[in-house]
Structure 1
Amino acid sequence: MKGAFAIVLTLSALLPLSAGAVNQQIRAIFKPNPANPLFNEFENRTPTSGFCLDNPPQCAAEKLFSFRLPIQSFSNATIQGRHDNPRMGAMFNIPSQWQTVTVTHPTAPPQTVEFRVAGMGVAYRLPKPAPELTGGLGHNFVWEGGIWSYAGPPCTGLGGAGNDIGFNSFWKHPENAGACAKRAMFDIPQPFKYETFDITYQLRTPDPLTMPTGHYTGQHVLRVGPGRDFDLGDVMVPNDDVIVLDFALEVEHELKVEVPPGGNKVQLVPAGGWQSWLQAGRKPVRLFRDQTFNISASSRFKMFLQCSLSDGRVCHLTDPGQRLSFPLKVSVSLPNGLTDTLGRPVRRQELLTEAGAEIFRPGHYVERQPGMLHFEVERFDYLLAPGLPRQYLGNVTVIWDSEV
């Protein structure tokens, strides 16, 4: 018996956007990994471009992701050398604080995704070679504090490279960093421009083990310009001023149950068999059978019974002529890692028909771990009286259902 389901989560919000908006999808997936069952997080599958494409070890160490957007920025005036106002030069005030995005589902409760921009990089292009601007001194002297790789505080530079007319570098922004800026030491006339727009970001996603199956949608909009989410100062003007982030998160849960061959035929017998009754007349206390199974689960599921004969709550066994019937108790024990809704281990939890379904949940992905179904009949000694049937039958279907 097995069940599987997938959750596709797309974050979007219906907002009025400008015609020139730049769209970027952020896609992540959760799929149980038998090789690492304790890792229960989304894996970012967004194609990498920009900084992390060239620096994967550094980004992996800091859990950073990056992409390059098709946005360029152009100066609207000469940047004055040794200017006093940071807004009149190279300035970057980006959304480095954590922001929340609510994602919704047609029937399930909303979930929250957190997102922050962790850094920004541009490749600038001068109107003429750096030595011509600086009297033969080069890029090291265009900006106060050294080359573009030495970011303005509180940001830190993450390397860079250039030629006489341009330089490309990336700045890392701490949380809630505010503005980071570099002052020009010489006049930079028009046309000065940023040819690239790279950002790194960090992502906090919901716990996929608690998320019901289905599709979630949402969207996050960022704006570029003075006083907006990406504030590049008063001199640099972007050719696009709206960034639309479309998040798409996909969850592929697993619920699989394996019963050994012949495990669907359950014969209830006393402890030690029937010899004590047949040879010594000692009535058995109970009839029972324990049936093992293996289970793999990465999300909540419920268990309940369907019966060929029932009182509406528990299953019954009856003789072939259906003259007599009596209740059958069915319970389950689940492996470590699976608990009830209160977080307690599942040991001999009685199972009932669907109206009394029990819900269980994983604390981590459980991969092919053993569980046990317990079948038991109590207080049946009256059935051993002479003249009564000697065989009782019933069909019991145990349901593991991921549609909780």
Structure 2
Amino acid sequence: MNVSQSIEQCLGAGACLLLALLAMPASGVDMPIEAEFKPDPANPHLNKFENKTPNSGYCASYPTQCQSLGIFSLRAPIRFDSSQPIAALHTDPRQGAMFDAPTEWRELTVVHRQTQEQETVKIRMAGFGSSYVTENVIDLVGGGVPAAGAHGLLWTGGGWLRSAPPCTGSGLAAYTDTYYTFFWRTPVEGVCAKPARFDIPWLRYNYLDFTYELITPNPLGMSSGEYEGTYQYTLGPHQDFDMGDVMLPNDSLLTLNFTLRVEHDLKVEVPPGGNRIELVPQGGWQAWLNQGRKPARLFRDQTFTISASSRFKMQLECERVMGDTCALRNAAGHQVPLNLSVSLPNGLNRPDGSAVSRQPLLLSGAGTEQFDPRYYVNRRPGTLHFEVAREHVEAMLTQGGSTYSGQATVIWDSDL
């Protein structure tokens, strides 16, 4: 609805204009929140998202101080203006400068753009700040002191470098005789209030700086790609951001738009020549040729190195199929089954947490549907085991001096 049209239509009805204005939706302020996970070979056990949201506000002005405190800040263009003068020595904190930020943990859902997988993120406000503006503070306290002293005299407990408990200060502030920039941390829930010691005709907070803490899901269990979600905070008396009954915001919604990016690593390297497997008996063929001892089995272990930060599955594809595995065949058409299995390095486990040792690789995929990293595994050795069992070796020996061959393809796939 257009406001000017409402005014023209309601000239004869006193309540109509008020209703039209109340019906206008709050536009709100949108803020992007970005975090990213990339596996770090130097810190394979560090399985956390890294904040990628650029600093703005207080921490952009005081980066060294914020770094020492382990915090960052964002600035929302939300202004708070006093709706009435603030009386000296007021006893109700809601009638002056008070802050009650949403410090408790809240949950939101982020959704993968492509797969629609859902994960839960938790957020809490860990600090806030602004720059308050008012009339010349030296005049407000009766003169005779510099600006720093006037700001200190104006408020119970001194200037706003000293936070109101249970809030804690950040150690740095800036001021003139008409404004004061501050930033307070909120380690626990509670109202932080600064009662005025002198009458203040008007007061304004020029913006809202804030910092937050996140509890993110384990990225090793998430799919590569982007997860998105939204959380809305309300602002105003008795809302999420509550600045009392006097300091009123010019927007009633603060919307945080989350983007969590996951860039996994899954890489398998086979040594040169490792794609050609020759199956031999224990001790080689000479034991049979020289001593006449029939081989109990034919086998070969082929090592590989794997780097993995994501869950993955393994699959088998065959040139020739025999049951649930691949077949080797000679020129006469005689076939025998080839047994394949895999052993994975420490850190890559089954979903139940158990180690992976000689897990059969089958065409059906049974048993290799999912392997999970407990941390980022970087270039660690694993083994593919190839074997023809004894009973089939005996059948091969009856075929004379023939050669058996076949192709088997092993697939590591992070797309579950």
> What TM-score do the two structures reach when normalised by structure 1?
0.91
1:119-143 CA-to-partner distances (Å, cap 9, x unmatched) read: 111111112x211110124111000
2:369 is the alignment partner of 1:362 = no
Aligned to 1:371: 382
Q: Aligned with 1:33: secondary structure?
A: coil
One of 356, 359, 371 as aligned partner of 1:349: 359
1:3-402 superposed matches below 5 A: 18-56=25-63, 59-60=66-67, 63-105=70-112, 107=115, 109-127=117-135, 129-136=136-143, 137=145, 138-159=150-171, 160-175=173-188, 177-190=189-202, 192-322=203-333, 324-356=334-366, 358=368, 359-379=370-390, 380-383=392-395, 385=397, 387-388=399-400, 390-402=402-414
* CA RMSD in angstroms, aligned pairs only: 1.9
Q: CA deviation at 1:109?
A: 4.5
Q: Residues of 2 paired with 1:186 and 1:385: CA distance?
A: 104
Paired letter, 1:325: Q
Distance of aligned partners of 1:183 and 1:295 in 2 relative to their CA distance in 1, 3 Å threshold: same
- Residue identity in the other structure for 1:155: C
Counterpart-to-counterpart distance in 2, 1:350 and 1:102: 37
Distance in 1 between residues matched to 2:235 and 2:401, nearest whole Å = 84
- Stretches of structure 1 that go unaligned for 5 or more consecutive residues are 1-16
Unaligned runs of 5+ in 2: 1-23
Q: Quick check: which one's strand share is greater?
A: 1
Q: Distance in 2 between matches of 1:357 and 1:240?
A: 55
1:61 deviates by 5.5
Q: Structure 1 pair 21/386, CA: closer, same or farther in 2 (3 Å)? A: closer
User: Per-residue CA shift, 1:81-111, capped at 9, x if unaligned?
Assistant: 0011101100111101111112234645421
What is the DSSP-based 3-state SS (H/G/I as helix, E as strand, rest coil) of the residue aligned with 2:125? strand
2:177 aligned partner, one-letter code: D
Task: Quickly say closer, same or farther: Cα 1:389–1:165, change in 2 above 3 A.
Answer: same
Letter in 2 for 1:119: G
Distance 2:166 2:399 in 1: 92
| 1:390 alignment partner, SS class | coil
Look up the equivalent residue of 1:392 and give its one-letter code.
Answer: Y
Contact 1:18 1:242 in 2 (8 A): no
User: In 2, distance between residues paired with 1:61 and 1:99?
Assistant: 26
Residues 63 and 202 in structure 1, CA contact (< 8 A), matched pair in contact too: no
Q: Distance in 1 between matches of 2:261 and 2:385?
A: 36
> Does the aligned pair in 2 maintain the 1:65–1:202 contact within 8 Å?
no
Q: Deviations over 1:176-210 (max 9, x none)?
A: x22110100000003x2111211111111110101
Q: Which moved more, 1:77-86 or 1:231-240?
A: 231-240
If each structure's helix is expressed as a fraction of its own residues, which one has the higher value? 2
Tell me the SS of whatever aligns to 1:373: strand
> Take 2:170 and 2:393, find their aligned partners in 1: how far apart are those partners?
81
Matches of 1:163 and 1:50 in 2, distance apart? 18
Letter in 2 for 1:362: P
Moved more, 353-362 or 37-46: 353-362
* Structure 2 residue identity aligned to 1:140: G
Q: Does the 8 A contact of 1:331 with 1:374 survive in 2? A: yes
How many angstroms apart in 1 are the aligned matches of 2:228 and 2:396? 62
Q: Partners of 1:121 and 1:269 in 2: how far apart?
A: 73
Separation in 2 of the partners of 1:285 and 1:60? 66
Would you say the 8 A contact 1:301–1:360 is kept in 2? Answer: yes
User: TM-score, normalising length from structure 2?
Assistant: 0.88
Tell me the alpha carbon deviations over residues 359-391 of structure 1, each in whole angstroms, 9 at most, x when there is no partner: 211000111111111101111342354553521
Residues 385 and 376 (structure 1 numbering): CA distance in 2 closer, same or farther, change over 3 Å? Answer: closer
